[in-house]
Chain A
Amino acid sequence: MPVTDVRHDLDALTLTITADFAAPVERIWQVYADPRQMEKVWGPPTYPATVVEHDLRPGGRVTYFMTGPEGDKHAGYWLVTAVEAPSSLSFDDGFADLDFTPNPDLPVTKNVYTFTAHDGGTRATYVSSFDSAEQLQQLLDMGVVEGATGAISQIDDLVAS
């Protein structure tokens, strides 16, 4: 696994994941710069993503939807806040209606991706920040819709019952 470090900051409500990839920074950047590659990595196999708009400039938007096993579609958007190709990308990630109108009732996650050359490959740092524990929980309820699998997802059922 390329993941080398995971930090949960419970006070700042941030999740920081560091991964080392065996490819140059430019190659990792392409994964995000090319919508066809981005959609291959964004959604899990059970909820593949389709990227519709793709404008990686400050103020630009990336819109996508994910298609579930029943043909159900879940749309989301990125609002790009800062870009420095090929080394960093900041954006707000939110949920949207199927026409990509942002849904203001659902949580928005702030993300900062950083890519630096490291040991002949790339060290990628992904930081996601959440506004509140309530938003985090709401996000997870949606995340389950997105097909986040794993035993912990089943807790939703436990708590709901």
Chain B
Amino acid sequence: MTEQREDQADAFFHALADRTRRDIMRRVLAGEHSVSALAAKYDMSFAAVQKHVAVLERAGLLTKRRSGREQLVSGDVEAVRSVASMLTELEQIWRGRIARIDELIAADLNLEEPCPSPTSGTTSTP
């Protein structure tokens, strides 16, 4: 279960870590677009845009449907704002805090000297 969530979070972050993909999401959340209409907006090949769309689709952020020769794409607002994604976002705040605690205790070791009273509030505010 945890691994599955981790995988989901990885896919999510990866999908949104790219400027073009975020731009595609902005457009398809506003309304349905065909892949070719999207491709016309960017200075890149149709295939490259199609690849970006596929990454977003795998992350569950958008859905594709076929209409004749066209592939129509729309953003899944619910997926974007699902509880899972919200918890994932909060998880990042926590990971930041935990990394800072780790840095703080690592700094103790670097001092390499007995620290008589680290609990007193004498250190100045950074």
Contacts and interface: CB of A to CB of B under 8 A. Distances in A.
Contacts of B118: 30, 34, 37
A34 B119 contact: yes
B34 interface: no
Could you tell me the dominant secondary structure of chain B's interface residues? helix
B84 interface: yes
A8 B95 CA distance: 14
Given A15-B87, A137-B86, A161 B29 contact: yes
Contacts of A161: 26, 29-30
A50 B75 CA distance: 40
Contact of B92 (A1, A136, A150): A150
Nearest to B125: A50
A19 B98 contact: yes
Nearest to B28: A158
A36 B118 CA distance: 10
A139 interface: yes
Contact of A39 (B22, B26, B125): B125
A68 interface: no
Contacts of B119: 30, 33-34
B44 interface: no
Interface in A21-38: 21-23, 27-28, 30-31, 33-37
B111 interface: no
Interface of B: 1-2, 5-6, 12-13, 16-17, 22, 25-26, 29-30, 75, 77, 80-81, 83-102, 104-106, 108, 118-126
